């Protein structure tokens, strides 16, 4: 049976998302994108509503069975960390409203799974995402989108691992 997973890299200004399908051990890109909130949404709650609405639309359309969402890392700026946590909460709520199981991943685990080191640069993750999904070199997307696709790939790689 094919398994379809959405990866979500939450952010209050840019939320990356990517849907990957695994069938008989082969990964394929379904669709990916980024939700950009604009400065016009200067009321933070409007930004959160926009993220929820856009993710809901993606979930309704692509119907992933599972979700992989990046955990909030500890930031030096507590105000930024709080906003990131709220954006993450909106993403979790959108998945929960669609009865999609959510799996949390630390950024370092995703990097280690894809690149081999937990301190990999975003560009290295993007390169490995393109490699795993057999995406030609000329096709590119935002690094937030690559991170989201990386989350989906990481989940598909580790979901049955007893060492997770």
| Residue 117: C-alpha distances to residues 11, 84, 125 (Å) | 23, 24, 10
Q: Choose, from 9, 54, 66, 147, the residue flagged as catalytic.
A: 9
Q: Which of 54, 66, 70, 147 is catalytic?
A: 70
Annotation marks residue 9 as catalytic: yes
Question: Hunting for tokens 């199981």 — which residue is that?
Answer: 101
Cα–Cα distances in angstroms (integers) from residue 100 to residues 25, 91, 155, in the given order: 21, 11, 14
CA distance linking residue 140 with residue 127, whole number of Å: 10
Active site residue 147: no
- Say whether 54 is catalytic: no
Kindly name the residue from 40, 54, 60, 144 that is annotated as catalytic.
Answer: 144
Which active-site residues does the annotation give? Answer: 9, 70, 144
């Amino acid at each position: 049976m094919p398994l379809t997973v959405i990866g979500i890299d939450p952010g209050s200004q840019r939320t990356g998302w990517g849907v990957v399908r695994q069938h008989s051990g082969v990964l394929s890109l379904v669709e990916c994108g980024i939700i950009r909130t604009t400065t016009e949404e200067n009321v933070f709650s409007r930004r959160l509503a926009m993220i929820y609405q856009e993710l809901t639309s993606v979930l309704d359309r692509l119907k992933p069975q599972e979700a992989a969402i990046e955990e909030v890392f500890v930031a030096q700026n507590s105000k930024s960390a709080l906003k990131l946590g709220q954006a993450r909460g909106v993403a979790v709520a959108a998945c929960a409203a669609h009865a999609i199981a959510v799996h949390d991943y630390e950024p370092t685990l995703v990097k280690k799974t894809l690149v081999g080191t937990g301190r990999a640069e975003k560009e290295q993750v993007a390169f490995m995402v393109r490699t795993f999904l057999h995406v030609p070199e000329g096709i590119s997307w935002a690094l937030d989108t690559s991170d989201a696709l990386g989350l989906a790939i990481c989940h598909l790689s580790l979901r049955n691992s007893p060492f997770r």
